[in-house]
Amino acid sequence: MRPAPFRYREPRSLDEACAVLAAEPGEVAVLAGGQSLVPQLNARTRTPELVLAIGRVPELGGITLDGDRLRIGAAVTQRTVQRDPLAAGVPVLTEALGHVGHVPTRNRGTVGGSIAFADPTAELPLVLLALGGVAVAHSASGERRIPAAELFTGPFRTTLRPDELLAAVELPVPDRPWAFEQRHFRRHAKVSAIAGHDAGGALVVAVTGVGGAPVVVPAADAGDASVAAAGLVVPNGDRYGSVSYRRRLVTVAVTAALSRVAPDPTRHTPSREDAA
């Protein structure tokens, strides 16, 4: 199929892009890498009145390190981040990126696109949430910093306003090890877990693929985390697998991540075969 007719704008500055969003009365689709948007346009599951291409907005590029905060422009490709020496300071980020699609996908897909799209099984929203990152949004009225815990509200839904453009994400550079683990139901169905310790030494475990958005597991210690994570699975089976199977995969992924950051020599680490 072909997309429905739409108008097209390609701003050359962040101010210009925000001005377009502020003035546009109809639906605007923001185009960065296009890995998610273009298939939607072709299938006509989205029929925006305007497509706003942000690939040539210089303020949305670049990777910088300010103290212990890594800032990544929203239009930076995932592959660029994977190869960047500054991003290597957040190893769990580059590890998670290795699970995003394939290399051609990462060559086009952008960090901001993945965050703003808010796929409930996506890897980058999970990393942003677990590490306590921040989304930096811009509009004609200025900048708004949104903690990741307040950003994702449901499947493909965020607290970004229609007049706002995601300009960058910021991640703390951890001083302790973190681990990312992923398990698949089928080719396009997966659960992921991330585990580590925050700056105060408290254990943090977060999972995605269990419901409508990534979520931090409310567990006091490593012994509780796998059970608590399995309990977060939304109780509605689908064509990819039953609820019990999904819970089993979550348990496997969380346990594997924990074994790398809070190892217990008496505990068996489930393998991929255990989840088969």
Q: Residue 220: its pLDDT value, please?
A: 66
Confidence of residue 269 (pLDDT cuts 50, 70, 90): very low
Instruction: State mean pLDDT over 193-217.
Output: 95
Span of 101-115, 192-206, 240-254 with lowest mean pLDDT: 240-254
Instruction: State mean pLDDT over 203-221.
Output: 91
Distance of CA 108 to CAs 28, 86, 113, 153, 170, Å?
A: 21, 20, 10, 26, 21
The more confident residue out of 68 and 265 is 68
Q: Residue 188: its pLDDT value, please?
A: 61
CA–CA separation, 185 and 255 (whole Å): 17
Q: Residue 236: its pLDDT value, please?
A: 65
Please give the share of the chain, as a percent, with pLDDT higher than 90: 82
Confidence of residue 272 (pLDDT cuts 50, 70, 90): very low
CA–CA separation, 119 and 147 (whole Å): 18
CA–CA separation, 173 and 228 (whole Å): 27
Instruction: Give all domains of the chain, ordered by start, each with its CATH number.
Output: 7-53 (3.30.43.10), 60-172 (3.30.465.10), 178-275 (3.30.390.50)
Q: Is 53 exposed, middle or buried (0-12, 13-18, 19+ CB in 10 A)?
A: middle
Q: Residue 162: its pLDDT value, please?
A: 95
CA–CA separation, 2 and 45 (whole Å): 11
* Three-state helix/strand/coil letters over the chain: CCCCCCEEECCCCHHHHHHHHHHCCCCEEEECCCCCHHHHHHHCCCCCCEEEECCCCHHHCCEEEECCEEEEECCCEHHHHHHCCCHHHCHHHHHHHCCCCCHHHHHHCEHHHHHHHCCCCCHHHHHHHHCCCEEEEEECCEEEEEEHHHCEEECCEECCCCCCEEEEEEEECCCCCEEEEEEEEECCEEEEEEEEECCCCCEEEEEECCCCCCEECCCCCHHHHHHHHHCCCCCCCECCECHHHHHHHHHHHHHHHHHHHCCCCCCCCCCCHHHC
Sign of CA dihedral 164, 129, 183, 173: positive
Q: Residue 263: its pLDDT value, please?
A: 67
Distance of CA 161 to CAs 10, 39, 137, 215, Å?
A: 20, 23, 9, 21
pLDDT surpasses 50 at 66: yes
CA–CA separation, 98 and 86 (whole Å): 17
Instruction: State mean pLDDT over 44-59.
Output: 96
Q: Residue 238: its pLDDT value, please?
A: 62
Confidence of residue 262 (pLDDT cuts 50, 70, 90): confident
Q: Is 44 exposed, middle or buried (0-12, 13-18, 19+ CB in 10 A)?
A: exposed
Task: Determine contact, residues 163/140, Cβ cutoff 8 Å.
Answer: yes
CA–CA separation, 178 and 89 (whole Å): 12
The more confident residue out of 220 and 156 is 156
pLDDT surpasses 70 at 240: no
Sign of CA dihedral 202, 203, 208, 211: negative
